[in-house]
């Protein structure tokens, strides 16, 4: 079990807050490992602090509650599963929004090959309830985007070992909008519709 409590105050202006403010945050994570092949955890975070309300001169206390349920299991020497479900609520007294995300990973490692396949869905009302989730990538690349809107995002990573010190990595991911708002977000940045990366790595 991991937990903390934080009570804070800002005597001056802060990001998206144009007045002195205060707030509180509480966190707990419960992790369970029934055996060497399985791990599951549940995580909860409560946060309340002041935010400026967009397009107004108001600053109101907003409450954000975040939940994560994670499951990991090694089926065999070659195959592993990872499941992540998370949901969040945001409420500032004037309006409320919610967001959720579900990701399923299958990892296969055998001889010269390593394959990671992900299917992910997210449904987010607005940016206040945005979802963050780590996405596997080629080596030395780190990707944690803020998901907003409603979409399906499949992803495939393949690694092939060419020789002892050389391997080839390739990643392709597609974002498929499931409503008009998400389509508009993607249309404003066409590079986010399809992602493709590759890397030739030489270790010496």
* DSSP-derived 3-state class of residue 47: strand
Burial 24-60 (b: 16+ CB within 10 A, else e): eeeeeeeeeeeeeeebebebebebebbbbeeeeeebe
Burial 98-109 (b: 16+ CB within 10 A, else e): bbbbbbebebee
* pLDDT for the residue 190: 47
* pLDDT for the residue 188: 54
> What does the pLDDT look like over 125-147, one tens digit per residue?
998 899 999 999 999 888 888 89
* pLDDT for the residue 182: 63
Q: CA-CA distances (angstroms) from residue 21 to 2, 58, 124, 155?
A: 27, 13, 27, 42
* pLDDT for the residue 179: 78
Tokens of 65: 């509650």
d(CA 200, CA 68): 35
* pLDDT for the residue 186: 61
Paired sense of beta strands 21-35 and 2-10, if any: antiparallel
Give the residue ranges of the chain where pLDDT is below 50. Answer: 190-191
Domain count for the chain: 1
Rg (CA), the chain: 20
> What does the pLDDT look like over 22-33, one tens digit per residue?
899 999 999 999
CATH of the domain at 128: 2.40.160
* DSSP-derived 3-state class of residue 180: helix
Q: 14: domain range?
A: 2-202
* pLDDT for the residue 189: 55
């Amino acid at each position: 079990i991991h937990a903390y409590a934080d009570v804070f105050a800002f005597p001056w202006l802060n990001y998206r807050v144009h007045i002195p403010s205060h707030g509180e945050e509480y966190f707990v994570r419960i992790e369970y490992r029934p055996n060497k092949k399985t791990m599951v955890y549940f995580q909860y975070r409560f946060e309340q602090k002041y935010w400026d309300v967009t397009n107004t001169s108001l600053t109101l206390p907003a409450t954000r509650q975040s939940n994560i349920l994670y499951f990991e299991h090694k089926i065999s020497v070659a195959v592993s599963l990872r499941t992540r479900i998370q949901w969040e609520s945001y409420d500032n007294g004037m309006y409320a929004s919610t967001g959720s995300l579900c990701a399923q990973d299958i990892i296969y490692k055998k001889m010269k090959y390593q394959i990671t396949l992900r299917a992910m869905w997210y449904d987010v009302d607005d940016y206040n309830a945005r979802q963050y989730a780590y996405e596997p990538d080629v080596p030395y690349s780190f990707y944690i985007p803020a998901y907003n809107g409603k979409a399906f995002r499949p992803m495939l990573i393949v690694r092939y070992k060419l020789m002892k010190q050389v391997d080839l990595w390739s990643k392709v991911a597609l974002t498929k909008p499931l409503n008009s708002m998400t389509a508009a977000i993607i249309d404003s940045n066409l590079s986010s519709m399809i992602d493709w990366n590759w890397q030739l790595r030489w270790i010496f």
